[in-house]
Structure 1
Amino acid sequence: MKTLALPALLAGALCAAFTPATQAAPTFIADLDITTFDGTELDANLFIPDTPAPAGGYPTVLFTNSWMLDKHQYLLQAAELADNGYLVMSYSTRGFGTSGGMVDVAGENSIRDAGVLIDWLEAHYPVGKLGMAGISYGAGISLITAAQDPRVDAVAALSGWSDVIEGLYPGNTVNLVWGTILTTTALNLDPEVDAIWANLRATENIQGVEEFAAPRSALSYVRELNSNGTAVLMSNNFADYLFKPNSMTQLYSLLDGPKKLLLNPGTHAVTETLGGNNGHIWATTFRWFDRYLKDQPNGIDHEPKVDMTVRISNRLEQFDDFPVTDKTTRYHLHPRFTYFNNASMKTRPYSGWGWSNDFHGGSDTKAGTGIPVISDALEGFGIPVYTAMTGINGYHAIEYNSPLHWSTFKIRGTPSLELWIKPSKPEVQLQVHLYDTGPLGLGRLITHAPYTLHNAEVGKAQKISMDLFTTAYDVPPGHVVTLAIDTEGAIYQKPEDTNYEIEVPYRSSRQSVLTIPHL
């Protein structure tokens, strides 16, 4: 066996400290080498309850590891489930931990592996209803396996994805930071994945990238999930700029079976790993499995389907469905007069003389998402990304301020933007940010999204339509909402040629509109 990675050692130490006092400990088999369909060995561990199997077999959970981690990741959760009568296996997906094979990003081999592990469990133990769970990479594999294998009755997909393209290429923009993290931290990465990443960065063979992504995206398997009747729990985080909530809310809306959606502050996987939104995520996961694997009437199937925790305040709210509101405010963009003035956005359309504003590429501005990964993680602890709005350079950006809000403006959902632009180059990039700006000019980030045009019509007015990332945020009384648009962001790959101008035309016949859903 290889030397265990530090995360695995830490998880093992935590598990050793976990000693239930009220009953005998389940049997724990620390090392299982299971040969999969192609002769590859998969490394797993197993908790066996100390109680006899129920008549229908043990309720069973198969945990799948996150990227870079291994079978030790869920020792605490697995032990707790086993204490409550579950048979629980955790395994290292191929290419991670001491499992053989190459990392294929939830490819066919990895999905077949999960089926072999279910076969093994059924051959050695009385297995009843079965669920799969995982964070990040484990979430994606769990969803796709459930679609392809009707033996999976329930899934808990935490910080998962349903669309690979949205994760690595949001708004036709290369997610440089997260893509680099993924491709440089898997030591046994399939060469095909490196080729796909290279094509994406070079904007080459995008059709090939899409063909690679489709079978690895749960959105491709909605029919199968619905046909299987899989009970699907999904949890995603507002500042997760790898697997944004947007595609998961889309998947949620298309599912017909039992489903529940948790939307939380924080960044990718950190919220679930460090306690799970004050324990809410894991507590809900256990209740989900109790209901759909043990048939325990705990009421979760009659509760509101959407749990949304407001950013910064970390206040939990519950709603019957998503979208959580059908109420919106439409802000029409109005022009600024010089680079030193802010533009405005108003609830009435622009009806003045033909006008235009411009801003330029070539430099980043103070509009942004903070320090990549670090600032996103801190948000989960109630620490927002602050920006001095007066310091945003008007030559390289444009800001639109809403009217003053006299009462709390409760943004809930997915803001969208329709924007008329006239680009000077065929490839230009927009970094669109929404801020809560206070009386002293200090802004707190509400949400953002990138958008890149690769074959724009130069010098011609054209409308783009985009969604910002789903959010839940309360703008306090006395503050305004600011839409700040520049051309570079720390997370994303910028165009090779950044010497361009973007003109925003204003006409009564060309209305640029920001739509914000709110309570």
Structure 2
Amino acid sequence: MHTRDGVRLDADVYRPDAIGEFPVLLMRQPYGREIASTVVYAHPIWYAAQGYIVVIQDVRGRGTSEGEFKLFAREIEDGEDSVNWAVNLPGSNGKVGMYGFSYQGMTQLYAAAAKPAALKTICPAMIGYDLYTDWAYEGGAFCLQTNLAWAIQLATETARIKGDTQAYQELFTAARNLPLYDHNPARPEVLKNFAPDSFYHDWLEHSNSDEYWEKLSPKTYLQDVDLPMFHIGGWFDAYLRGTLNLYRDMVGRNSQRQELLIGPWTHLPWGRQAGEVDFGVKAASPVDQMQIRWFDRFLKDINTGIFEEPTVCLFQIGTNSWRTFSEFPNPIHISYYFSSRGLASIREDSGQLTTNPDDHILNSVDVIVHDPWRPVPSLGGHAGLPAGSFERSHIDCRNDVLTYTTAPLDSVLRIAGEAIVEVWSEADTTSYDLCAVLSQVYPDGKVYNLTQGYIRCDRESNPQPSNPTSPKHIKLQATCAKIIKGNALRISLSAACFPAYAMNTGSDLPMSSATLQDAKIITVKIYSGGEKASKLKLPVVSVSS
């Protein structure tokens, strides 16, 4: 097809082996249309066999499509043109749906923003709604590992398309061994030299939410869009924040049905294994069958029964089973207060979590010393590569990690939603970071992460970072879990989680120019008890014996 400005876009079209008119399913993606997102979805042949014309298209400047690839810049216009072209394919019944995850999920949102008449429904998976808060940054900190890996991947493909052999080889090598220890860790030489036009450089320069992000984000363009949407996410996906923010926004103001599915998955693949944990056979992806039921209802007008079912389906860690809800849980938050003898970085039995605020040892202070020579490493979670759940007792034993642990539970605890860690802290620098990991501690001493969160504390987010007049709030990624009797919960606090997040140098220099030589040793104090009572606010669904 040709866009409104005359650029040719190429697609593969799969058709049912039957006579008649069929709805069209469109996927627009930048990774070479032959792959067709089969890393998480069934092949388009399978979808065609269910009675759909399936179109897998290379976006502008990718695969064999013409034009210049510029991240998300032309996806609204190109998306609208592609929908209008697809609906006029021979054998179309006049209705178009879209599916896909990550970039392919984003192209659905941009196309929907143009409101083409033929587009009847979308199934966005693992997307950024606000690209600053949901994708590039978390809590004001740059998501280094995922952003850098993705930028190098896209730049490598650009070099291949241009036939630049040297750039391709240098970038391909960097993709297999991320350059995390260059002079300027956040801006490695390989991207500066071989991908000077990469979006990555703009993302570094715009380290605060500003007009740049507003113009780029789907949130800006979807305020009057009213479409039925099937939202798909993963507990260990880096972009779950975007999936939930889009879902909540659509539910709050749309008249059309919104469904939400969240599995125990990383960004890819969507299967039973996430990190070191096997979540069982029920964790295998039901997405393909669920999407067909969804498309049958909205593109074929078949009563598939989905309107008689709950709209939210969440995988519960612990029981390794799916639970349904009428809406995303909005539970009460039960506070677990930090209690410490001041040795939470030295002894596991020093730092405790207790529901009784009177159990505090008043005015206790624990100290984190962040050494840039040996920063606390990231391990799994949603922001690290590889993502997922891992045994982390060896990290909790470090002296630059504070641990606060409950007593073994005397009853079952079910949680669903976002936990918040409210921390009273101060540091000896103008800028510092805080990472909080919520884990489950087993009777044998093994520790497996459930969820985590991260914030950057600096002058812009807190005018007096070294004078704690109010607590910091670390919002943990949403989760759903059942904690059995005899296990315990733990919060681990650190001042780094590298390379998942760019390391804070503790200086006033912008991240884009700060070097390893600028990095300072940072001393952070964490308070518990009295007027500075740090605590975990846990989203408890139910407590039972």
Please tell me the TM-score bracket, short chain as reference.
0.7 to 0.9
Q: Which amino acid aligns with 1:295?
A: D
Which deviates further from its counterpart, 169-178 or 68-77? 68-77
User: Closer, same or farther in 2 for the Cα pair 1:273/1:213, shift >3 Å?
Assistant: farther
Alignment match, 1:114: 79
- Out of 326, 332, 336, the residue aligned to residue 331 of structure 2 is 326
Alignment match, 1:198: 201
User: Closer, same or farther in 2 for the Cα pair 1:340/1:205, shift >3 Å?
Assistant: closer
- Out of 405, 417, 423, the residue aligned to residue 409 of structure 2 is 405
Identity of aligned residues (%): 19
Alignment match, 2:169: none
Whether the 8 Å CA contact 2:75–2:111 is kept in 1: the answer is no
User: Closer, same or farther in 2 for the Cα pair 1:188/1:219, shift >3 Å?
Assistant: same
Alignment match, 2:515: none
The CA RMSD measured in Å over matched residues stands at 2.9
Whether the 8 Å CA contact 2:130–2:219 is kept in 1: the answer is yes
Q: Give the Cα–Cα distance (whole angstroms) in 1 for the partners of residues 2 and 50 of structure 2.
A: 29
Q: TM-score, normalised by structure 1?
A: 0.82
Q: In structure 1, the residue corresponding to 2:10 is in which secondary structure? A: strand
Q: In structure 1, the residue corresponding to 2:466 is in which secondary structure? A: coil
Q: Give the Cα–Cα distance (whole angstroms) in 1 for the partners of residues 364 and 323 of structure 2.
A: 43
Q: In structure 1, the residue corresponding to 2:444 is in which secondary structure? A: coil
User: Closer, same or farther in 2 for the Cα pair 1:332/1:373, shift >3 Å?
Assistant: closer
Alignment match, 1:27: none
Whether the 8 Å CA contact 1:365–1:392 is kept in 2: the answer is no
Shift of 1:193: 9.2
Shift of 1:508: 2.7
User: Closer, same or farther in 2 for the Cα pair 1:233/1:46, shift >3 Å?
Assistant: same
Q: State yes or no: 1:508 paired with 2:511.
A: no
Please list every run of 5 or more consecutive structure 2 residues that lacks an aligned counterpart in the other structure: 160-190, 274-280, 506-518
Alignment match, 2:341: 336
User: Closer, same or farther in 2 for the Cα pair 1:302/1:436, shift >3 Å?
Assistant: same
Q: Which amino acid aligns with 1:309?
A: F
Whether the 8 Å CA contact 1:135–1:269 is kept in 2: the answer is no
Q: TM-score, normalised by structure 2?
A: 0.78
User: Closer, same or farther in 2 for the Cα pair 1:373/1:70, shift >3 Å?
Assistant: farther
Q: Which amino acid aligns with 1:369?
A: G
Q: Give the Cα–Cα distance (whole angstroms) in 2 for the partners of residues 438 and 474 of structure 1.
A: 13
User: Closer, same or farther in 2 for the Cα pair 1:368/1:78, shift >3 Å?
Assistant: closer
Q: In structure 2, the residue corresponding to 1:138 is in which secondary structure? A: helix
Shift of 1:40: 2.0
Listed one character per residue, the Cα deviations across residues 150-205 of structure 1 (whole Å, up to 9, x for unaligned) are 4211111122222211211111111111111111111339999956533544xx44
Listed one character per residue, the Cα deviations across residues 233-254 of structure 1 (whole Å, up to 9, x for unaligned) are 111111112x1x2232122122
Q: Give the Cα–Cα distance (whole angstroms) in 2 for the partners of residues 142 and 41 of structure 1.
A: 19
Whether the 8 Å CA contact 1:449–1:469 is kept in 2: the answer is yes
User: Closer, same or farther in 2 for the Cα pair 1:320/1:193, shift >3 Å?
Assistant: farther
- Out of 99, 104, 108, the residue aligned to residue 65 of structure 2 is 99
Alignment match, 1:26: none
Which deviates further from its counterpart, 297-306 or 506-515? 506-515
Q: Give the Cα–Cα distance (whole angstroms) in 1 for the partners of residues 501 and 197 of structure 2.
A: 18
Shift of 1:131: 0.6
Q: Give the Cα–Cα distance (whole angstroms) in 1 for the partners of residues 7 and 89 of structure 2.
A: 20
Shift of 1:211: 2.6
Shift of 1:302: 2.2
Shift of 1:474: 2.5
Q: Give the Cα–Cα distance (whole angstroms) in 2 for the partners of residues 430 and 90 of structure 1.
A: 42
Q: Which amino acid aligns with 1:102?
A: E
Q: Which amino acid aligns with 2:232?
A: S
Whether the 8 Å CA contact 1:236–1:263 is kept in 2: the answer is yes
Q: Give the Cα–Cα distance (whole angstroms) in 2 for the partners of residues 482 and 298 of structure 1.
A: 43
- Out of 32, 36, 41, the residue aligned to residue 73 of structure 1 is 36
Q: How many corresponding residue pairs?
A: 465
Alignment match, 2:187: none
Listed one character per residue, the Cα deviations across residues 67-101 of structure 1 (whole Å, up to 9, x for unaligned) are 53425415854323322332221101123211122
Alignment match, 1:355: 364
Shift of 1:485: 0.6
Alignment match, 1:387: 392
Q: Give the Cα–Cα distance (whole angstroms) in 1 for the partners of residues 230 and 382 of structure 2.
A: 30
Whether the 8 Å CA contact 1:102–1:188 is kept in 2: the answer is no
Whether the 8 Å CA contact 1:232–1:259 is kept in 2: the answer is yes
Q: Which amino acid aligns with 2:25?
A: V
Task: Map 1:399-438 to 2 at 5 A.
Answer: 399-438=403-442
Alignment match, 1:264: 263
Task: Map 1:236-315 to 2 at 5 A.
Answer: 236-241=233-238, 243=239, 245-255=240-250, 256=254, 257-271=256-270, 277-311=283-317, 314-315=320-321
Q: Give the Cα–Cα distance (whole angstroms) in 1 for the partners of residues 270 and 483 of structure 2.
A: 23
Shift of 1:218: 3.1
Listed one character per residue, the Cα deviations across residues 120-177 of structure 1 (whole Å, up to 9, x for unaligned) are 2344434422111112100011022113224211111122222211211111111111
Q: Give the Cα–Cα distance (whole angstroms) in 2 for the partners of residues 223 and 505 of structure 1.
A: 42
Q: Give the Cα–Cα distance (whole angstroms) in 2 for the partners of residues 72 and 458 of structure 1.
A: 48
Which deviates further from its counterpart, 278-287 or 44-53? 44-53
Q: Which amino acid aligns with 1:206?
A: S
Alignment match, 2:445: 441
Shift of 1:481: 0.5
Whether the 8 Å CA contact 1:142–1:157 is kept in 2: the answer is yes
Q: Give the Cα–Cα distance (whole angstroms) in 1 for the partners of residues 284 and 237 of structure 2.
A: 18
Shift of 1:105: 2.4
Listed one character per residue, the Cα deviations across residues 324-359 of structure 1 (whole Å, up to 9, x for unaligned) are 252332112222332423311211225653332211
Alignment match, 2:510: none
Q: State yes or no: 1:474 paired with 2:482.
A: yes
Listed one character per residue, the Cα deviations across residues 282-336 of structure 1 (whole Å, up to 9, x for unaligned) are 11111111111111101112211111112365311111111x2523321122223
Which deviates further from its counterpart, 215-224 or 494-503? 215-224
Q: In structure 1, the residue corresponding to 2:357 is in which secondary structure? A: coil
Q: State yes or no: 1:213 paired with 2:210.
A: no
Q: In structure 1, the residue corresponding to 2:158 is in which secondary structure? A: coil
Whether the 8 Å CA contact 2:454–2:475 is kept in 1: the answer is no
Please list every run of 5 or more consecutive structure 1 residues that lacks an aligned counterpart in the other structure: 1-33
Listed one character per residue, the Cα deviations across residues 446-479 of structure 1 (whole Å, up to 9, x for unaligned) are 1111111232525311421121011122323211
Q: Which amino acid aligns with 1:421?
A: S
Q: Give the Cα–Cα distance (whole angstroms) in 2 for the partners of residues 149 and 276 of structure 1.
A: 37
Q: Give the Cα–Cα distance (whole angstroms) in 2 for the partners of residues 232 and 46 of structure 1.
A: 24
Whether the 8 Å CA contact 2:369–2:522 is kept in 1: the answer is yes
Q: Give the Cα–Cα distance (whole angstroms) in 2 for the partners of residues 48 and 441 of structure 1.
A: 55
Q: State yes or no: 1:59 paired with 2:23.
A: yes
Alignment match, 1:492: 501
